[in-house]
Amino acid sequence: MSEQTIALVTGANKGIGYEIAAGLGALGWRIGVGARDRQRRDTAVEKLRAAGTDAFGVPLDVTDDASVAAAAELIADQAGGLDVLVNNAAITGDLPQTPTTVDPATVRIVVETNVIGVIRVTNAMLPMLRASASPRIVNMSSSVGSLALQTTPGIDMGPVPAAYLASKTFLNALTIQYVKELSDTKILINSGCPGFTATDLNGFRGVRTPQQGAAIAIHLATLPDDGPTGGFFDDAGTVPW
């Protein structure tokens, strides 16, 4: 491992993922830009490099075993290891998604990316993360996945797509399980909520900029060695599970 911190950000070709890559790159880190679309990935890497970030492209489809395995090999070859993994790639899925009308196939597709994709990528990168001096895993979640907030009287979370919402609740549960299994390692693992950010995920209806949405991931990726693990956070602090 070099002294330079190495990070992989999935879904980093646009939106929040791109701004996470830019923010971490501004710290002098080397950034793997994980994305499926070659043209968008190449464009993002070029833009990051033009801004002074040491970025390299990582062809990555989080729903494909072979793609994820190849991505791990590429990072090992090009960067020599990995210190930080930001699981940012996610989809909303076809709408509408009311529980009584949602197509079960839509739920499967959303979970395949938002949950199973996180498992697939995390497990492929774990050998390198275990070898890091200060490893971090950040799972980009959402407060809409909070069962506590969803069931608190007087709190209106808005019309949230059922498959997407459930996938984030699932992801939060997964974060906790990883923390329990890896409690004897140095890896700090947390969920982060970017807030209602304007991206193509929500048709740009959000009220926060992608740069604002990226702030929590950058914070969790740069936690000190005695920082929290197994938590759910946004810019204001702790989000209830």
By annotation, the residues acting in catalysis are: 164
Quote the CA–CA distance of 235 and 241 in Å, as a whole number: 16
For the chain, the residue count is 241
Those residues whose C-beta lies under 8 Å from the C-beta of residue 57, and which sit 6 or more positions away, are 32, 33, 35, 41, 42, 44, 45
Residue 86 · residue 62 · CB < 8 Å: no
Could you give the angle at the alpha carbon of 225 between the alpha carbons of 180 and 116, nearest 5°?
A: 40
162: tokens are: 């059922």
Q: Does residue 153 have a cis bond before it (omega within 30 degrees)?
A: no
